[in-house]
Amino acid sequence: MTSTQLDQLCINTLRTLSIDAVQQAHSGHPGTPMGAAPTAYCLWQNFLRFDPAAPNWINRDRFVLSAGHACALLYSLLHLCGVKADSASYSTEDRLNQRLAVTLDDLKTFRQLGSRCTGHPESGWTSGVETTTGPLGQGAATSVGMAMAERWLAASYNRPDFDLFSYNVYALCSDGDMMEGITSEAASLAGHLKLSGLCWVYDANRISIEGATALTFTEEVATRFSAYGWQVLQIDNANDLTALRDGYQRFLASTDRPTLIIVRSHIGYGAPHKQDSSNAHGEPLGAEEVRLTKEFYGCDPDAQFDVPDGVIAHFSSQFGQRGATARADWTALFAGYRSQYPDLAEQLAQMQRRDLPRGWDDALPDFAADAKGLSTRDASSQVLNAIAAQMPWLLGGSADLAPSTKTHLTFDFAGDFQPPGDDPKTSYRGRNMHFGVREHAMCAIGSGLSLSYLRPYVSSFLIFTDYCRGALRLAAMMELPLIAIWTHDSISLGEDGPTHQPIEQLASLRAMPGMIVLRPADANEVVAAWRVIMQLTDKPVCLVLTRQALPTLDRASCASADGVAYGAYVLADAVDGKPDVLLLATGSEVALCMAAYEKLTADGIRARVISMPSWELFDSQSQDYRDQIMPPTVIARVAVEQASVFGWERYTGLTGAIIGMRSFGLSAPAAVVTQHFGFESAHVVAAAREQLTRQLPNQS
C-alpha cells in the first residue's frame, strides 16, 4: 500500500473502531469521530510530539479533546498509537507490563463499568487523556492554561542551549464549544497573551442537537477569533489531508499568536442516511447503517473492531517514532541540564511529584493576639507571599479583583505574566496572572496549569463561584490541587448588597464531591489552613476569606490553631470538659461564639466552642475524634454562620438551633446588616439557653 492508502486505512479504522464501540455499547456519539477522524489523524500522525511509551513526559505536546463526546475517536487513537498505561489508576503490574492505555477490550467495553473507555474522557483514569472533558468549553479553556504553563516553564527553566520546554497544545473543539461563554473568555485571554503554542482545531460540522447550527449560531467565528488576536485558517474539507497538513504547518510557523484552524467537516461522514444529521450525534448508527457506512469506507461490513494489517505499524513508524525520538533527545538534553543546573532540575522533579520545596514554610507568620485584628484576606495575603517566595512554581491571580482578594505577589521578583514587551517586570516568567473579568475561564485555566504540574491559585469574590462551578467541578473530579481563594465571604461585605453577598455558595461548594472548603476564623487559622492546603496533592480547595477585620484570638487562653488540620476542634471548653451545649461556628462567626461563650460561662453554663473551618476535613476524621469533639450525648447545639443554614443540620440534628441566613442579604454597612440578621452574641446566648431548656426533659 502507498502511504496515502495507509493514511486512509488508518483514518477509516479510527472511524470504524469508534462506530463499533458506540454500536456495541448501544450508547455514545459516533458522528463527530467519523467526521473529525482525518483532522485528528493528520495531527497525531504528522505533528503531535508524544512518546506512546511515556504519556506523562513533561515536554509532550498536549492534545485536548474539548469535544469530549467524541471520546471514541480519542480512545481509538490511543489504542492504535500504542499509548501505554502510565498513571496510578492502572495496577502496578499493568504498568510494568506496559499495558496499553486503551486495549481493544476497553474499546469493546466502551461505557461499561470499569472500562478505560468511559462515556467522556477522564483524566487520571485513562493515560493519554490530558484533561476531563464533556461539558462544553472546558477543554478549550483548560488548554489555554496548559499553553500558559508551557510559556511559563520555558521562560523560567529554559537556558541557552537548553530548550527544555517547547511543547504545543492542541484542542479539538466542536460547534458547541464555540458557543459557550467560557470558550470566548479563554480565547480572548489567549489572544491577549499571544500564546503561539496554542492551536484550536474547530471541527465545524454545523450540526448541533436541535439541528443545523444555522438555527442559532450564524456568527462569523473566523472574524471573532481574528478580533481576539488569533491567526485563523480555514479548511473547506476535513478529508483533505494536504490542506490539513498545510494548516498545522502554518500553525507551527506562527510565533506571535494562537491559531484557530476551522475545518469544515460532516458529522456522521459516510453514513448514507445519517451524515449531516443531528441523528448522527448522540446515538448508535444502527446495525444496518453501520454495514452501509463500512461499505462506503471500503471496509469489510461484517468485521467488527477490525484493525487491518499495517495500521498499527503505520502509526508506529510515524507517530511513535517521532515521539520516541523526541523524548530520547529531550532526555539527553535534560541530563546535560541536570548537571549544569542541578537546582533547577531538582525543582522540576519536585514539581512533577507535587512535592513541596524544603523550607516552604520557613517564613510563615505567627500572629499575636489582637482584639482589632485583621481580615482573613489580609492574613492570607501575607501567608501566600511567604510561601510563594519559597516556591517558584506557586503562581496565579484573580479575575480582576486582586486588589480586593489580596492575592497579588508583592515580592520583587514575582513579576506579571504577560507576553514579553518593553517592561522588564512583565514576561512569561511573571507569576502574577491577570485573568480579566473571566471567572469561568480562570478556573479552567487553573486546572490547565495544575495538569501541567504547576501549583496555581485563582481568586475572586465568593459570590462569583456561581460563575465558575463547571470548571471547579472538573478540578474536583480530576483531583487537582487547585487553590481557589474566595474573599468577601458573607453578608459582612456590607454595602454592595445582595447581588454580591454570598448566601448559598458555602453550602453549594461543601456539597461538591472532592472539594475541600476552608473558612478560617482568624489570622492564625489562616496560617494553619495554608499548611493544610499546601500539603494537599489530590484535592482542590476553596479558601473562604473575609473582607472585614476579625480579632486575632488569644491562643494562650484558647486552643492552638493547629486543630484546623482536623477540620473542627475545640477552641474553648467547659471547665470540666463536659459541656452541656455546643456552639459551632466557622470563620467570622467564631469570635461571636467566643463572646457568647464568655457570657454563658460567667452565667455558670457549661458551653463548648467548636471552630470548624472545614466540614470535609472533619467528616474524614475517625468516629472517635468526631465524637470527642461533638459528643453524641450533647444534643443542645447552636450553629452560627453568616450563610445559608442549608446543611448545618448534619451537626445540629433535628432539634439544634441554627443562626444563619434564610434569605438574600441587604445593602447597608456591614455592622447594620449583621445586626439586622441577628448575628449578635446575645442571640447566640439566647439560643443556647433555649436549647438547654428544650433538652431538659430528656436529661431528667
Residues marked active site are found at 439
- Give, as ranges, the residues between 508 and 567 that touch a copy of itself (CB under 8 A): 508, 510-514
By the rule CB under 8 A, 382 interacts with a copy of itself:
no
* Residue 436 within binding range of a copy of itself, rule CB under 8 A: yes
The backbone region for 488, taken as left when phi is positive above 0, alpha when psi lies in -120 to 50, beta otherwise, is: left
Interface residue with a copy of itself, options 4, 632, 633, 700 (CB under 8 A): 632
> In this complex, which beta carbon is closest to a copy of itself, that of residue 73 or of residue 326?
73
Binding mask 243-272 for a copy of itself (x = CB under 8 A): ------------------------------
Based on CB atoms, which residue is closest to a copy of itself, 154 or 442?
Answer: 442
Q: Does 286 bind a copy of itself (CB under 8 A)?
A: no
112 binds a copy of itself (CB under 8 A): yes
Grouping H, G, I as helix, E, B as strand and the rest as coil, residue 324 is: helix
Q: Is 105 in the site for a copy of itself (CB under 8 A)?
A: no
Query: Is the CB of 71 or the CB of 561 nearer to a copy of itself?
Result: 71
3-class secondary structure for 477-498? Answer: HCCCCCEEEEECCCHHHCCCCC
Residue 67 DSSP class: S
Among 398, 490, 611, 695, binds a copy of itself (CB under 8 A): 398
Which of 483, 673, 684, 687 is in the footprint of a copy of itself by CB under 8 A?
A: 673
Shortest spacing between CB 692 and a copy of itself, in angstroms: 17
Among residues 44 and 464, whose Cβ is nearest to a copy of itself? 464
Of 36 and 48, nearer to a copy of itself (C-beta) is: 36
In the complex, what is the shortest distance from the CB of residue 405 to a copy of itself, in angstroms, rounded to a whole number? 10
The answer to whether 433 and 440 are in contact (CB under 8 A) is: no
Dihedral class, residue 453 (left if φ above 0, else alpha if ψ from -120 to 50, else beta): left
In which residue are the cell numbers 472538573 written? Answer: 474
Q: Does 626 bind a copy of itself (CB under 8 A)?
A: no
Under rule CB under 8 A, residue 353 binds a copy of itself: no
By CB under 8 A, tell whether 310 contacts a copy of itself: no
Q: The cell 461490513 sits on which residue?
A: 301
In angstroms, give the least distance from the CB of 611 to a copy of itself. Answer: 20
Contact between 124 and a copy of itself (CB under 8 A)? no
Nearer to a copy of itself, 252 or 536 (CB): 536
Site for a copy of itself contains 120 (CB under 8 A): yes
Q: Hey, how many other C-beta atoms are within 10 angstroms of the C-beta on 220?
A: 10
List CB contacts of 659: < 8 A, sequence separation 6 or more.
638, 639, 640, 641, 678, 679, 683, 684, 687
Residue in 108, 113, 104 with CA at minimum distance from that of residue 22: 108
The number of residues that bind a copy of itself (CB under 8 A) is 112
The strand ranges marked E within 364-500 are: 370-375, 394-398, 416-417, 426-427, 432-434, 455-461, 483-487
Please state the φ and ψ torsions of residue 516, each to the nearest 5 degrees.
-100, 125
> How many residues appear in the chain?
700
Residue type, 308: P
Residue 672 within binding range of a copy of itself, rule CB under 8 A: yes
Using rule CB under 8 A, residue 635 touches a copy of itself: yes
Q: Specify the 3-state DSSP secondary structure of 234.
A: strand
Long-range CB contact pairs, 598-606, < 8 A, 24+: 599/681, 599/685, 600/685, 600/688, 600/689, 601/574, 601/575, 605/580, 605/581, 605/688, 605/689, 605/692, 606/574, 606/575, 606/576, 606/578, 606/579, 606/580, 606/581
Cβ nearer to a copy of itself, comparing 505 with 681:
505
Is the CB of residue 449 less than 8 Å from the CB of residue 408?
Answer: no
Q: What angle do CA 35, 41, 44 make, to 5 degrees?
A: 140
Whole-number minimum distance, CB 227 to a copy of itself, in Å? Answer: 4
Count CB neighbours of 559 within 10 A.
15
The residue type found at 300 is D
Identify residue 205 by its one-letter amino acid code.
Answer: N
Stretch that binds a copy of itself, among 117-125, 261-269, 333-341, 365-373 (CB under 8 A): 117-125
Site string for a copy of itself, 133-172 (x = CB under 8 A): xxxx------------------------------------
Q: Does 647 bind a copy of itself (CB under 8 A)?
A: yes
Least separation in angstroms between residue 248's CB and a copy of itself is 24
Binder of a copy of itself out of 499, 557, 622, 623 (CB under 8 A):
499
Binder among 108, 250, 291, 500 for a copy of itself (CB under 8 A): 500
**Angstrom distance (rounded) from CA 220 to CA 260:** 13
Q: Name which position in 354, 469, 555, 599 contacts a copy of itself (CB under 8 A).
A: 469
* Residue 278 in the binding site for a copy of itself (CB under 8 A): yes
68 binds a copy of itself (CB under 8 A): yes
Query: What nine digits make up the cell of 491?
Result: 453578608
Q: CB of residue 116 vs a copy of itself: minimum separation in angstroms?
A: 10
573 near a copy of itself (CB under 8 A): no
- Give the pairing of strands 541-544 and 483-487: parallel
In the numeric block, which cell numbers belong to residue 270? 459516510
| 503 lies in the binding site for a copy of itself (CB under 8 A) | yes
52 contacts a copy of itself (rule: CB under 8 A): no
Where does this chain touch a copy of itself (CB under 8 A) — which range of 150-158, 340-348, 494-502, 683-691? 494-502
As measured in angstroms, the least distance from the Cβ of 568 to a copy of itself is: 15
Q: How far apart are the first and last CA of the chain?
A: 91
Using CB under 8 A as the binding rule, the residues of this chain from 652 to 671 that contact a copy of itself are 653-655, 661-664, 666-669
Q: Is 473 in the site for a copy of itself (CB under 8 A)?
A: yes
Nearer to a copy of itself, 116 or 683 (CB): 116
CA 265 from chain centre, in angstroms, equals: 30
Q: Compute the least distance from the CB of residue 215 to a copy of itself, in Å.
A: 5
Contact residue for a copy of itself among 30, 33, 38, 119 (CB under 8 A) = 119
**Helix axes 439-451 and 181-192, enclosed angle (nearest 10):** 70
> Identity (one letter) of the amino acid at 97?
N
Cell of 569: 476542634
Q: Within 12-41, which residues bind a copy of itself (CB under 8 A)?
A: 25, 27-28
| Strand-pair partners of 199 | 170, 259
Residue from 33, 145, 392, 494 touching a copy of itself (CB under 8 A): that is: 494
In terms of Cα–Cα distance, which of 449, 436, 519 is closest to 478? 449
Convert residues 204-243 into a mask of x (bound to a copy of itself by CB under 8 A) and - (unbound).
----xxx--x-xxxxxxxxxx-xxxx--------------
Residue reference for cell 490511543: 78
Closest CA relative to residue 510, chosen from 608, 618, 656, 379: 618
In this chain, which of 81, 267, 462, 507 binds a copy of itself, going by CB under 8 A? 507
